[in-house]
A and B are shown apart, each in its own frame.
Chain A
Amino acid sequence: MLELRLDGRHPVLGMIDAQVREGDRICLLGPSGVGKTTLLNGIAGLDPQLRPMIGQRAGLRVGYLFQEHRLLPWRTVRQNLALVGAGAADIERLLAEVGLSGAADSLPDQLSLGMARRAALARCLAIKPDLLLLDEPFASLDAERAAELRGLIARLLDQHPAMAMICVTHDPRDADDLANRLWYLGGAPATLRCDEPPGSAVNLSQLSERQRRA
């Protein structure tokens, strides 16, 4: 559904050749500032320079969970979901799914960080995405909330087996729960240093090693 053919003419990202297929669950790892968010923005179509280098299946729906919730602060959670095209029944179902049924009529700034992120996740799902982009979804949550959200995302992925995911994270352990594929972005300009399935102890230690060196 997605083909990356980066030719190295981008200021941050070097040569990258990769494909994303249905059902791919990719964890994107790499040191801070290497260009993980830049790559995600490019895939979401937000970087004009990258647009010609990224091939998308026609009509591909991309749900993007930004680092900040980026809900409209002057609209309630319900209105925010309605704005991306969700019907009333869909909104109730989605909010129940992410555990926010009681907060439908709250404004985003009235929610805690974790709740706002789940509301934003509900908005991602409202457009019935083929590809889910998650930018550090567990950052600045306490361990318990992070585990909760990780469980929620794992459940959602199970429910939609065809949906692909790219999740930026700093923690290789996230990969064990969510991913069937690992990307490691490193260097300057940044390239994919590895593209492999996760799971084995060898892989994890290699990754940690790479991360230390980078």
Chain B
Amino acid sequence: MNGSRWACWIALPCAVALWTLIALVVQTPLLPTPVAVFDTFWRATQSGELPEHLLVTLRRVLFAFVLAMALGTLLGVWMGRSRLANAVLDPLLVLFLNLPALVTIILLYVWFGLVEAAAVLAVVINKVPNVAVTVREGARSIDPKLEQMALVYRFTRWQRIRHVWLPQLFPYLMAATRGGLALIWKIVLVVELLGRSDGIGFQLHMAFQVFDVASILAYSLAFIAVVQLIELALLQPLERRASSWREAGVRHA
């Protein structure tokens, strides 16, 4: 237990050390040292350029995320509860699950032009099927015995959703959220690279033109840090709070 608490601090410093070592040996601007990357990061932050593009990207990520979660959850619950809806929509779901993100992005840009709505919609279309599949699994696992109970005790529709369904769907919503955040920000970068004039993806595109590897690493590491922060500060506390009743049951057993 004590050993594993510190174990997570082994791999990252080792990787940074190895990176430094190789960078010092090869001595090329195509592989800058961590210090050089941090230097680039610091200058871009001070100039206000990095925070600006980061916020633009973050806004797109959150907007697409909320939309995709809402639509995917509705679709997933509907397909999980209704055999007919599932039979009708499942082939479409499979199709969209296998549609490459790049294709959706290109098509939407072609059809609607290089506009913000097309960018966000492309991300949403890519993410909704994943959310729907995960949530459908949850909706199928809803306990029929508690459904009977809710029927006998005349729960209102809202009580049923809030007190019977939501706690049962929560682990699935959490899984969709985790996977969602990770997937969405990667797709947003591609969307920005292909058709927006701001955001981290756009900056990566500019850096790519001049082979500015230090900038590429500085921007991506900054965004990884932000996503990790959301996970630690928001998602994990939320999950701990919502699943505390499970631990109480285990303690008794």
Contact = CB atoms under 8 A, between A and B. Distances in A.
Contact of A75 (B145, B163, B252, B253): B163
A110 B164 CA distance: 19
Most buried by A among B152, B159, B251, B252: B152
B155 A83 contact: yes
A47 to B, nearest CB: 10
Main secondary structure of the interface of B (DSSP, over half): helix
A77 B152 CA distance: 18
Contacts of A70: 145-146, 148-149
Given A68-B145, A72-B146, A107 B153 contact: no
Contacts of A97: none
Interface residues of B, number: 19
A110 B151 contact: no
A57 to B, nearest CB: 16
Contacts of A46: 148, 151-152
Contact of A110 (B152, B154, B159, B248): B248
Contacts, number: 50
A41 interface: yes
Contact of B149 (A66, A75, A107, A111): A66
Nearest to A64: B152
B167 A109 contact: no
A73 B253 CA distance: 14
A72 B163 contact: yes
A119 to B, nearest CB: 13
Interface of A: 41, 44-46, 62, 64, 66, 68, 70, 72-75, 83-84, 107, 109-111, 123, 127
